[in-house]
Amino acid sequence: MKRLAFGAALAALALNLIVEHWLMAAPSGAVVVPGLADFHHAWNRGVSFSLLTQDSNTGRWLLMALLAIISIGVGFLAWRATHRLSALGYGLILGGALGNLLDRAVHGAVFDFLFLHLGAMPLFVCNFADIAISAGVVALVLESLLTKPRST
């Protein structure tokens, strides 16, 4: 299971780097799905939904330290995963988290590019790493629903 978990983490991290490198050079503003998704450059100095936004280097480094500690915890869970779906889930979460952490270290913020909305109502802006994290969470939820508890 370790190979699956850390392979998924490495794949998510690599794909995040490739997608970001390609999209940072692309012009912002293209419609991806009319009324639902647009390509739009945004730099997020916080975490999900711009919570914990940091405008100082000290705040950025403290946020990065907290996220690194959480990533280590997720890596430990990936190491100990006993089912394929949970190994995949933890791996995707770890790869996405490392992608966002790398963005913070290199750029000082996370590069978001997919603006999701319902018509004129904005929802959020995300990136490939966020999608990997969300897919990992879905895998963990599915694992919890599909796995029968062991009887003692």
Catalytic positions are 112, 130
> Which residue, 54, 79, 69, 96, is CA-closest to 3?
79
From residue 24, give the alpha-carbon distance in Å to each of 17, 30, 43, 136, 140: 10, 13, 11, 25, 31
Contact residues for 100 (Cβ-Cβ < 8 A; gap 6+)? 67, 110, 127, 129, 130
